[in-house]
Amino acid sequence: MALANLLLALACTVSSAIAFSGDMTYYDPEGAPGACGGRHLGSDKVVSVPFSHYGNCPNPNNCPSCGKTMRIHCNGKTTTAKVVDNCEVCAGDIDFTKAVFSNLADLDFGRVQVTWEWA
């Protein structure tokens, strides 16, 4: 399993001219309100980003990241997700719903390196 994780991590970081890289994890928002407003489920293609990408936006109507779409690349696959929340513990990583994560990697991995850019 360790070798499989390493190979997947290496495959997921190979991409061209990408602005950001880090680990992706997943969560289930369970209909709770996000920092951008609105409620989402694990079946929605949404993302919670670290403050370094979200910014200091106490009012979601003034936050430029809210509603933005990002393209995520891993293992030769690409998908998109819409920013709906900030992630206080993510540092440079991004936290997706299971719907997004499973488009790129098996949920059993739990944490995978990816690259992404704003769409």
pLDDT score for 77: 97
Identity of the residue numbered 28: D
Per-residue H/E/C for 41-94 = CCCCCEEEEEHHHHCCCCCHHHCCCCCCEEEEEECCEEEEEEEEEEECCCCCCE
pLDDT score for 107: 96
* Cα gap 2→42, rounded to integer Å: 27
pLDDT score for 63: 82
pLDDT per position as a tens digit, 4-60: 444 445 445 444 455 899 999 999 999 998 888 899 999 999 999 988 877 777 776
Pick the more confident residue, 61 or 114.
114
In this prediction the pTM is 0.81
Cα within 13 Å of Cα(6), Cβ side = 3
Strand 112-118 to 69-74 pairing = antiparallel
Domain spans, the chain: 2-118
Mean pLDDT for the chain? 85
pLDDT score for 61: 67
Q: Span 2-118: which CATH code?
A: 2.40.40.10
pLDDT score for 17: 53
Residue 96 confidence (pLDDT) above 60: yes
